[in-house]
Amino acid sequence: GRLWLKGAGARVGELPAPLSTALAPLDRSASPSLRSLAAALRGGEPLADLVIPLADSRRVRITGVSVAHGSLKLECSTILRER
């Protein structure tokens, strides 16, 4: 399936940050997957690919989604880089 969402805010660690600031590095990424993730978090397109590449060649798979107390919680597992 596809997950549609629209982020209202973000945190960088414990520090609250505007969504636009938190997503700016994704917008500038050379990775189409990361740019697509930024668009999905803005509500512009569905989050269809549940595997997100990281800068160090690892990947993160979203394994669960839940909503509690007005927050979206994503459960993820790291896929180690191939040797």
67 vs 9: CA distance, rounded Å: 15
User: In this predicted structure, what is the pLDDT of residue 76?
Assistant: 84
User: Which amino acid appears at position 67 of this protein?
Assistant: V
In this structure, the number of other CB atoms found within 10 A of the CB of residue 62 comes to 15
Q: What is the pLDDT of residue 71?
A: 73
pLDDT at 7: 73
Q: Could you tell me which of 75, 70, 76 has the C-alpha nearest to residue 8?
A: 70
Whole-model pTM?
Answer: 0.55
In this prediction, residue 39 carries a pLDDT of 85
Query: What pLDDT score does 55 carry?
Result: 75
Give me the phi and psi of 39, to 5 degrees please: -65, -40
- What's residue 82's pLDDT? 62
pLDDT less than 50: residues of the chain: none
